[in-house]
Amino acid sequence: MTIRTEPFVVNIGPQHPSTHGVFRMRCVLDGETVVDADMVVGYLHRSLEKLAEERTYTQNIPFTDRMDYLSAMSGNLGYVMAVEKLAGIRVPERAQYLRVIMAELQRIANHSMAIGTFINDCGAWQTPLMWMFAEREKILDLFEMTCGARLTCNYMRIGGVAFDIPDEFIPAINSFLADFPRKIDEYEKMLLENEILIARAKGNGVITKEMAINASITGPMLRSTGVPYDIRKVDPYAVYDRFDFAIPVGENGDSYDRFLVRLAELRESHKILVQAVRDLPGGPYKVDVPLAIRPPVGEAYARVESPKGELGFYLVSDGGAAPYRFHVRSPSLINLSLLREMIVGHSVADAIVAFGSIDIVLGEVDR
């Protein structure tokens, strides 16, 4: 006699400790294997793109904080670069260096959280997360020292940065940078050879190079498949071409490689930061830009390498004080294009680990 089984539908999310926000996956399970997966987003849709059409260009900068709220500096940077491209504004040297410093600090903070939560999804009850958060706290203290906020920094302005760094910033960042390589060594010692982590993450959520390029994947997810595409190198913005750093690249495109790429990017960001702090020039930190800037009619697309991928801002101006169209090319949403291919055919536990390795932020997915 054959036993009849039937697949059942399980909702993972929207309230779930591991979905990094309000994200819902409807999985059709056959026992433990996922047969079909469908994602439902929009729980955090705040219609920021529509709201931005009512506000001036400078008033839209806080929106970019709150989209990817875990890497606010990158969001700010991309947006002000797009406006500067539209309006043809040249940013002074000191501001460019400060932008690079803040962006790289934000990358370290974001990757600490990404790696920590990834291992948390693998099951390690927050121990690596708490270790990495100790470093993240120091970075957030640096941010608070400069612009007053830890998370939603609102630091970049059109034509420069909002505030110059205070006097205690340089000693603080130097002490952080002096201590950081030792901490990365500690994390590597704890995590790289952890057999359970390797057993969970290897071969999990595999994507190939061709699949990734065709699906517009960018960021550490693309680099883990072996494609060394990093906008800081191929399309340098804000003095990145003056620094000497490398791009970590994986091989297999699985979760373990994504984890390795993020771990190695911590070191590369540290290298950039050391060089940037050493070469920080004097001079003005902002050019004088009117409060309600009216760029000429036209369009511009500017992209930065945010810690999650390629963050692009597409702005259309009609000559008024508010943008006519404000579109965010959100890396988190587009990196989810391959979610179904990564999950179907594997078990629920693997689905959670693969989803955690993509590193999405729902604020950016839903905008």
Partner 1 sequence: MTLELTGEQVAGRIAQIVPGARVEAVGLSCYVHPDDLVAVATAARDDPELRFQMLTNLTAVDYLTHFEVIYHCVSLAKNHLGLFKVRVYDRDNAVVPSVTSVWWGAHLQEREVYDLMGIRFEGHPDLRRLFLWEGFAGHPLRKDFLGISGATRHAGLPHFPKQEQGYGVLNGPRWSAEPQPLPPDPFAPGAPF
Partner 2 sequence: MIGLSEWYDLRDLGNPVHALLQWIDGWGDGSTFHWVAYIVSGLIGAAAIGLFLGVIMLFLIWLERRAVARIQIRRGPNRLGPYGLLQPLADALKLMQKEAIAPRLGDRVVYTLAPLVIFIPTLLVFAVLPFGNKMQVANINVAVLYIVAVGSATPLVVFMAGWSSSNKYALLGSMRAVAMAISYEIPMVLALLAMVLWTGHMDLNGIVHWQQEHHVWLLFLQPLALLIYFISASAELNRTPTDIAEAESEIVAGYHIEYSGMKFGLFYAVEMANALAVSALIATLFLGGWWLYGLDRWVPGYLIFLAKTLLVYNLLILTRGTLPRLRIDQLLAFAWKYLLPLALVNIVVVALEVLLWQQNGLAQEVFFPVCVVVNVALSVALIVGYSRAFDRRKIMAPRRARLVQDPLAYMPQ
The residues of the shown chain that bind partner 2, judged by CB under 8 A, are 8-10, 16-18, 29, 32, 119-127, 129-131, 134, 192-200, 202, 209-210, 213, 226-230, 233-234, 246-251, 257, 260-261, 263-264, 268, 347-350, 352
Q: Minimal CA–CA distance to 155: which of 67, 89, 58?
A: 58
Q: Give the residue with the Cβ less far from partner 1, 184 or 239.
A: 239
Q: Output the CA–CA distances (angstroms, integers) from residue 53 to 7, 94, 118, in the order listed.
A: 46, 31, 36
Please state whether beta strands 24-30 and 8-12 pair in parallel, antiparallel, or not at all (unpaired): antiparallel
69 is in the binding site of which of partner 2, partner 1, none (Cβ under 5 to 8 A by kind)?
none
132 is in the binding site of which of partner 1, partner 2, none (Cβ under 5 to 8 A by kind)?
none
168 is in the binding site of which of partner 2, partner 1, none (Cβ under 5 to 8 A by kind)?
none
345 is in the binding site of which of partner 1, partner 2, none (Cβ under 5 to 8 A by kind)?
none
Q: Give the residue with the Cβ less far from partner 1, 248 or 323.
A: 323
Tokens matching residue 57: 């260009």
6 burial class (0-12, 13-18, 19+ CB within 10 angstroms)?
exposed
334 is in the binding site of which of partner 1, partner 2, none (Cβ under 5 to 8 A by kind)?
partner 1
In angstroms, give the least distance from the CB of 27 to partner 1.
Answer: 12
In angstroms, give the least distance from the CB of 350 to partner 2.
Answer: 7
3 burial class (0-12, 13-18, 19+ CB within 10 angstroms)?
exposed
Contact residues: partner 1, CB under 8 A: 9, 11, 41-42, 45, 47, 49-50, 53-54, 211, 213-218, 227, 229, 234-236, 301, 303, 310, 312, 314, 316, 318, 320, 322, 324-325, 327, 329, 333-334, 336-338, 366
Tokens matching residue 32: 């433990």
The secondary structure of 155-189, three-state, reads CEECCEECCCCCCCHHHHHHHHHHHHHHHHHHHHH
In angstroms, give the least distance from the CB of 316 to partner 1.
Answer: 6
